[in-house]
Amino acid sequence: MKGWLVFALSGWLAWPALGQQERKSRLDQEPGVVYLDATIRKPIELKVIKDAPVFADKEGRHKLGMLLADQTVRLEAMTAQVYRVRGQGAHDGIAGWVGPWAFSSRDPRFVENLKRLYKRQLQVQQLIEDKKLAIGMTMDEVRLSRGEPTRTAVRQTGSGRDGRWEYLEYKDVKNYATVRDFRTGMVYRRLVDVTREIKESTLVDFQNGLVSAIEESKNLKRGSDVRIIVPPVTIGW
C-alpha cells in the first residue's frame, strides 16, 4: 500500500449508535489486546512477504492454517508481540494471530511505530473504560468514552475543522414556598415546582479533530488532573 496513512484520525462524522456499541464491546473482550476497529475508523492493511502460520490464540498454541505470501491483509487487532489479521489461506479465507516477521514495509520504523500505536491505544481503551478524557484523543474516542455531546459548535479554519463539545449533567431541584394557613395559623412548606439545573459540565475543545483542551466544572475547586496522551500515530510503507 502506497502513501501515508494517519491511524486513529477520527474525522468529524458521527458513527451510528449501534456501531459505537459494537466497537465499545470489543474493548472489553481480552486484556492486553488492542482491537483496532474499536477506535480506528480506516482499516490498516499490511503486505505479507512470506507464508506464515496462523494461530487461533495470541500465545500460538492452536494452529489454524497458513497465511499465503504476496497478498495484502487487514490488521484487526494486535498485542506488543503479534498481529491478528484477515487474509487468504491455502484453501480459503483465514483470520488469526501471526508474527510480525511475516510482514514488510518500506518504512524502517514500521514495527516501532506499530508498537507506539499499540501503547497509545491501550491508554485509550482504559480511558474509554473509565469514561475519562485526555488531551490528544480523537473525536470518535471521546464519543466512545462519554457518548454524544449535549451541545456542539464547529468552525472551519484554514488548517481544518475546530470546535467545542459540551457535556452537561443535570439535577432536579425542588422549589418550595412558605405558606401560612390563615385558619390554623400553622406555617408549612409547599412544593411550587421542579426545575432542572446544571450539576456538572465538561467542555472539550478540538483542533484538527484532536482534543486540545478540557474543562470540567467539578474539578475547578480542587484542581484539574487532565491527562495528555500522544496524538494518533502516522506510519508509511
14 and 125 fall within a common domain: yes
**225, pLDDT greater than 50:** yes
The pLDDT value given to residue 236: 54
Based on the fold, state whether residues 65 and 122 are members of the same structural domain: yes
User: How far, in Å, CA of 117 to CA of 29, rounded?
Assistant: 19
36/78 Cα distance (integer angstroms): 8
The strand pairing partners of 14, in sequence order, are none
Higher per-residue confidence, 38 vs 85: 85
pLDDT at 147: 95
95, 114, 146: which is the final residue of a domain?
146
Is residue 233 assigned to a domain? no
63 and 176 co-located in one domain? no
* Domain total of the chain: 2
Neighbour-count burial for 83-109, b at 16+ CB within 10 Å, e otherwise: bbbebebeeeebbbbbebebbebeeee
Q: How confident is the model at residue 48 (pLDDT cuts 50, 70, 90)?
A: very high
Give the mean pLDDT of 43-49: 89
- Give yes or no for a contact between 234 and 42, defined as CB atoms under 8 angstroms apart: no
DSSP state letters, 68-122: PSSEEEEEEEE-SS-EEEEEEBSSSEEEEEE-GGGEE-SSTTHHHHHHHHHHHHH
- HSE, CB side, 13 Å, CA atoms: give it for residue 30: 12
Task: Quote the CA–CA distance of 82 and 54 in Å, as a whole number.
Answer: 11
* Rounded percentage of the chain residues whose pLDDT exceeds 90: 45
pLDDT, residue 8, reads 34
Domain identity same for 21 and 129: yes
* pLDDT value at residue 28: 53
Asked whether residue 137 is assigned to any structural domain, the reply reads yes
Residue 74 lies in a domain: yes
Q: Of 70, 84, 88, 85, which Cα lies nearest the Cα of 32?
A: 84
Within-domain flag for 237: no
Residues 137-142 have a mean pLDDT of 92
- Is 67 found in the same domain as 25? yes
Which residue range is the domain that position 207 belongs to? 151-226
Query: 146, 165, 197 — which closes off a domain?
Result: 146
Same domain, 180 and 75: no
| Residue whose entry in the numeric block shows the C-alpha cell 471521546 | 142
Is the same domain home to 139 and 171? no
Indicate whether 35 and 93 sit together in one domain: yes
10 pLDDT above the threshold of 50: no
- Between CA 122 and CA 31 the distance in angstroms is 9
C-alpha cell at 61: 498454541
Cα first-last separation, the chain = 7
Instruction: With respect to residue 236, please indicate whether it lies within any of the assigned structural domains.
Output: no
Are 135 and 156 found together in one domain? no
231 falls within a domain:
no
Q: Mind listing the pLDDT tens digit for each residue in 76-125?
A: 999 989 999 999 998 899 999 999 999 987 777 878 888 899 999 999 99
Least confident of 11-15, 57-61, 99-103, 172-176: 11-15
H, E, C per residue of 147-191: CCCCEEEEEEECCEEEEEEEEEEEEEEEEEEEEECCCCCCEEEEE
Q: 116 with 8, same domain?
A: yes
Do 14 and 89 sit in the same domain of this protein?
Answer: yes
Together in a domain, 59 and 91: yes
Contact predicate 117/233, CB 8 Å: yes
- Answer whether residue 39 shows pLDDT above 80: no
Of 117, 146, 175, at which residue does a domain stop? 146
In this predicted structure, the answer to whether residue 70 has a pLDDT above a threshold of 50 is: yes
Average pLDDT along the chain: 82
Does the pLDDT at position 210 exceed 50? yes
Average pLDDT over residues 162-180: 90
Number of H helices, E strands in the chain: 4, 16
Task: Identify the pLDDT of residue 120.
Answer: 94
CB 73 within 8 A of CB 85: yes
